[in-house]
Each structure stands twice: as C-alpha cells, then as structure tokens.
Amino acid sequence: MAKQVKVTLIKSTIGQKPAKVATVRSLGLKKISSSVVHDDNDAIRGMIASVAHLVKVEEVK
C-alpha cells in the first residue's frame, strides 16, 4: 500500500499570489481546517512545499 499524507489548510489564502491560491485549490482545499488525503508522491510533495506556510502535513498509516 502506498504511503499517504493528510494535508490541512491552516491559514487563509487571502492576500496570496494567484499561483499559491491555485495550488491550494488543486490540492482540494477550500476552507480553513479542511483536510484531504493524497498519495505521497513527488508531485504532491512539490505542491505542498510551495504552500508550506499555509498547510499542515501529517503522514497517514
């Protein structure tokens, strides 16, 4: 089974550059405290890294 990560939006995207807002939306996050679970791969890790100041990441077993 592939490793997975749970991504939670902890800060608002208001005032962020449009590319950062688009990255958060493409991760599937809409409101503060919303969470999604994704497979842990390089594409997702890159998206998380670009918005690391807005999200919290936890590994799911």
Query: What is the mean predicted confidence (pLDDT) over 22-51?
Result: 97
pTM: 0.92
What is the pLDDT confidence band of residue 1, given thresholds at 50, 70 and 90? confident
**What would the pLDDT profile of 7-36 be if each residue is shown by its tens digit?**
999 999 999 999 999 999 999 999 999 999
Calpha distance 19→5 (Å, rounded): 22
Q: What percent of the chain has pLDDT over 70?
A: 100
Calpha distance 51→22 (Å, rounded): 10
- 49 exposure class (CB count in 10 Å sphere: 0-12, 13-18, 19+): exposed
- pLDDT the model gives residue 61: 82
